[in-house]
Amino acid sequence: MQKRNLKLSVTNCYLIEMGNKYLLIDTGYENDWKLFCKRLKEIGIGLSEISHILLTHHHDDHCGLLNKVLEENQNIRIIMSYQAKDFLLEGKNDQSHGLAYVNKRVNMLFSLIQIFDKRWKTHAFPAYQSREIDILVKGETHLKDIGIGLNGRIIETPGHSLDSITVVFDDGDCIVGDAAANIISFTGTKYCVIIIEDLEAYYQSWRKLISLGARQIFPAHGKPFPAERLEQNIDKISKKHMVKIS
């Protein structure tokens, strides 16, 4: 199974080959369009060859290009958590369940970034109205049961957001969205994404991945890493060190 990383401004999107078609996992920010098209051209794949897009969750850096891609290819079917439907319609990241930076160092760093990058203030994206052809998943869902000719399953991996899902392939490769990350390790993130909604649920999602035989983690942010790193770092972040986002 061939996986191609479409590295956008901050998000790793993945193209998975399915015969003569492709599954795209996540889309990047709204203003990543030119870079997205450039990345596709670099690997010689056209938008007409993408049959499905799977959203790991509804956040702006993962779904921002969704409407733009569908303008070019309306036949693409969107796969998402059943919980993502209403969030996507709102056109902004859900913050109603509480969010926190993983520690004070991350809070300080991104407080500075917000001064120069307005996306970190609004977290808005073009609202998306789900269609009848889209696929809403709930619980564990085998890919072949929803018409994806690959050996693997979709599982729920909440913690970063309520609607977070992960693709676990039978060979142990896992495309996790923000259910784990490999960035700014100097701040002590310890393979967590920088913002977490529910820390207990987040680590429980790691335990679920490990129990399913995860081998290699492919995050939306940062380079892939061995799944052993999850087991080694479970519970290394403490709630008392997190900084709530107001």
Domain assignment of residue 232, given as a range: 3-241
CA torsion angle 233 239 243 246 (round to 10): 130
pLDDT at 123: 86
pLDDT at 146: 98
CA torsion angle 213 217 219 223 (round to 10): 180
Residue 201 phi/psi, 5-degree rounding, is -65, -35
Task: Check which CATH number belongs to the domain holding 231 and give it.
Answer: 3.60.15.10
pLDDT at 116: 74
**Is 211 a member of any domain?**
yes
- Position 127, amino acid: A
pLDDT at 111: 82
How far is it, in rounded angstroms, from Cα 166 to Cα 158? 9
**Is 132 a member of any domain?**
yes
**pTM of the predicted protein model:** 0.96
Q: How far is CA 13 from CA 3, 38, 95, 220, in A?
A: 10, 13, 23, 7
**Is 12 a member of any domain?**
yes
Residue 213 phi/psi, 5-degree rounding, is 85, 30
Handedness of CA 15, 124, 88, 244 (dihedral sign): positive
pLDDT at 121: 64
Q: How far is CA 224 from CA 136, 191, 229, in A?
A: 27, 11, 11
pLDDT at 66: 98
**Is 113 a member of any domain?**
yes
**Is 99 a member of any domain?**
yes
Token representation of residue 99: 């969010």
pLDDT at 199: 98
Domain count within the chain? 1
Handedness of CA 21, 89, 154, 100 (dihedral sign): positive
Nearest to 199 by CA among 215, 224, 179, 221: 179
How far is it, in rounded angstroms, from Cα 27 to Cα 57? 11
pLDDT at 244: 94
pLDDT at 118: 62
Q: Are 150 and 144 in contact (CB under 8 A)?
A: yes
**Is 246 a member of any domain?**
no
How far is it, in rounded angstroms, from Cα 215 to Cα 219? 13
Token representation of residue 21: 């078609």
Residue that has been written with the tokens 């929803």 in this structure: 146
**Is 27 a member of any domain?**
yes
Q: Can you give the length of the chain in residues?
A: 246
**Which strand (E) or helix (H) includes residue 79?**
strand 77-81
Low-confidence ranges of the chain (pLDDT < 70): 117-121
